[in-house]
Amino acid sequence: MKKISLLLTTLLITTVLVNAQPPQFDPEEMIKMQVERLTEACSLTKDQVPKVEAIVRESSKKMMEMFEGGPGGDFAEMREKMQKVQEEQTKKMKEILDDEQDKKYDKFLEEQRERMRQMGGGFGG
């Protein structure tokens, strides 16, 4: 009886510990999700989707390079660099969007900023 109880306790602890691990960050999945959100939010055409994916991929790559050294450093400088990447992405997006999509994109960005504010500020603060 003690062995079964010990086994069940060990199994329960292992299950809790495994489930408590934070999910792994998958950059490809994040890019895919971002493109899907933009496709829906901006009513992208089939021709625009690969162009948007390339823009998002490039921006994501630049952002990931900023974090390769790990946490630390000057947060104001980091925020400034991230804002520049976002501005570049926005400029490139506006080159491929029509007027109606551009308005939707602006709304999408404002909603993203509001989410960041609600989550505690982030870099966009």
Separation CA 69–CA 112 (nearest Å): 26
Whether the predicted pLDDT of 40 surpasses 70: yes
Average pLDDT for the chain: 80
More confident site: 50 or 78 = 50
Q: Max CA-CA distance within the chain?
A: 72
Highest mean pLDDT among 24-33, 50-59, 78-87: 50-59
**pLDDT score for 4:** 54
> Tokens 């630049």 correspond to what residue?
62
Number of alpha helices (DSSP H) and beta strands (DSSP E) in the chain: 5, 0
**pLDDT score for 13:** 57
Tokens of 88: 């570049």
Q: Which of 103, 105, 88, 82 is nearest to 54 (CA)?
A: 88
Per-residue pLDDT band for 23 (boundaries 50, 70, 90) equals low
Q: Which of 38, 47, 24, 40 is nearest to 93 (CA)?
A: 38
Query: Residue type for 67, please?
Result: F
Q: Does the predicted model carry a pTM greater than 0.95?
A: no
- As a whole number of Å, the end-to-end CA separation of the chain is 57
